[in-house]
């Protein structure tokens, strides 16, 4: 009855994916990436933002792109991760 | 560091070709079948029309904007792959269309349609001198290319004014103009988050709505104005999605680097429109009769 979410990462896993990705781009240790901080604070520009969301979609194995505002409008990494997870479960529910 | 984006606006033939002459097959793989490479028109956000349907609605919107009808002779400044001209001729009974483009590949494509009622010229509108007057002018997605980033506001407005004067001249002072262009939204507002950045449309010197109002003053009345930025966000998202799906196909002929560059650019554009950094204007201009001028 309850649909298994095993294949679909939740907000926490997405947040940790963002941490690792930003750590790599910004060349800092992952544990120094504060999920309460916004993307801007790591010096990411919009091109890097687009590349990040494209990489996230690849990691999630999504056929449909995520709306890019999910990161551009986010107040923090955690906020973007929550929004992404919410959108994914919304999409699942529609199927 | 930002990679160089495919758009270098500035009105030069070189800049136009840089963007548009990367192969008609490339564009055909992610544009809709009409090959309309400009903002589509949806009937609000709940309208679930496909990209192709929304492009047709856009083409019809501009046709109706200039009152297209049987026997008319219509000029399309920046005709792309000819979708607007075909709509004017096939759906509204216009007699003939002339299309201007600076892209050799677009011109070749339009000529390849083999239509006697369409004439395409690789000519900058500055140099265009028609043999006979037109009944109306449409221009979709060309105005963005008219001005150069190094020009002052006065210089840019002078160019725009020259365009409006030319439209009047080309129609003997009587023809309406339907214009669709990207314009600055909040992008100049100085409070831009560096994350969303200055590198959305880096080399673009877009008009502002004020530029357009000032440049057309006394020549045309603005009789209809829409800001459909959200439609352009949706259009860019649809293109990005289609391009990515095409690139995922195992036998896709798309050059990886080119595909990724455009995909990134389309998604940046989608964001720029969604956030109102840039807007999409559709404007109908009616000529001010010569006697009423001055």
Say which residue, A22 or B21, is predicted with more confidence. A22
B177 alpha-carbon distance from chain centroid: 13
- The ipTM of this complex is 0.79
Q: Which tens digits make up the pLDDT trace of A35-86?
A: 999 888 888 877 888 889 999 999 999 988 898 888 888 999 999 999 999 9
Q: What is the pLDDT of residues A8-38, one digit of tens each?
A: 899 999 999 999 999 999 999 999 999 999 8
| Percent of the residues in chain A that have a pLDDT greater than 90, as a whole number | 53
Structure tokens at B65: 């904007």
Q: What is the pLDDT of residues B172-205, one digit of tens each?
A: 999 999 999 999 988 764 444 444 444 444 455 7
Does residue B129 register a pLDDT over 90? yes
B199 touches chain A (CB under 8 A): yes
Distance separating alpha carbons of residues B9 and B11, to the nearest angstrom: 6
The chain-wide mean pLDDT, for chain B, equals 87
Contacts of B123 (CB under 8 A, 6+ apart): B100, B102
pLDDT in tens, B26-67: 989 999 999 999 999 999 989 999 999 999 999 999 999 999
Q: Does A72 touch chain B (CB under 8 A)?
A: yes
pTM (2 decimals)?
0.85
| CB–CB contact B244 A65 (8 Å) | yes
Q: Are B79 and B135 in contact (CB under 8 A)?
A: no
For an interface test with B, give the residue of A50, A51, A60 to mutate (most B CBs within 10 A): A50
Per the CB < 8 Å rule, is B197 touching A39? Answer: no
For chain B, helix (H) and strand (E) counts, in that order, are 9, 7
């Amino acid at each position: 009855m309850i649909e298994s979410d095993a294949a679909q990462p939740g907000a926490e896993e997405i947040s940790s994916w963002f941490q690792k990705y930003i750590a790599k781009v910004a060349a800092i240790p992952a544990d120094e990436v504060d999920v309460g901080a916004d993307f801007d604070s790591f010096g990411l520009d919009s091109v890097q933002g687009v590349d990040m969301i494209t990489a996230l979609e690849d990691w999630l194995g999504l056929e449909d792109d995520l709306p890019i505002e999910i990161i551009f409008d986010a107040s923090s990494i955690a906020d973007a991760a929550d929004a992404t997870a919410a959108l994914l479960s919304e999409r699942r529910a529609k199927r | 560091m930002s990679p160089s984006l495919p758009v270098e606006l500035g009105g030069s033939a070189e800049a136009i070709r840089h963007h548009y002459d990367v192969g008609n097959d490339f564009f055909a793989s992610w544009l809709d079948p009409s090959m309309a490479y400009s903002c589509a028109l949806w009937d609000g956000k709940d309208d679930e029309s496909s990209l192709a349907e929304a492009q047709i609605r856009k083409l019809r919107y501009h046709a109706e904007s200039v009152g297209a009808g049987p026997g008319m002779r219509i000029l399309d400044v920046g005709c792309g792959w000819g979708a607007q001209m075909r709509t004017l001729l096939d759906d509204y009974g216009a007699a003939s269309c002339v299309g201007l483009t600076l892209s050799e590949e677009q011109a070749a494509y339009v000529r390849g349609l083999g239509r006697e009622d369409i004439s395409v010229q690789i000519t900058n509108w500055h140099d265009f001198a028609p043999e006979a007057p037109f009944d109306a002018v449409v221009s979709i997605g060309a105005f963005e290319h008219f001005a150069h980033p190094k020009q002052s506001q006065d210089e840019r407005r002078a160019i725009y004014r020259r365009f409006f004067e030319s439209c009047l001249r080309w129609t003997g002072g009587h023809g309406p103009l339907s214009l669709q262009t990207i314009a600055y939204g909040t992008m100049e507002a100085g409070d831009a988050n560096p994350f969303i950045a200055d590198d959305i449309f880096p080399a673009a010197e877009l008009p502002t709505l004020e530029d357009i109002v000032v440049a057309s003053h006394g020549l045309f009345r603005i009789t209809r104005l829409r800001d459909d930025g959200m439609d352009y966000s949706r259009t860019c998202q649809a293109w990005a999605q289609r391009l990515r799906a095409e690139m995922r196909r195992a036998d896709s002929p798309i050059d990886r680097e080119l595909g990724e560059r455009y995909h990134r650019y389309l998604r940046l554009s989608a964001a720029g429109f969604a956030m109102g950094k840039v807007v999409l204007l559709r404007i109908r201009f009616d000529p001010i009769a010569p006697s009423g001028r001055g």
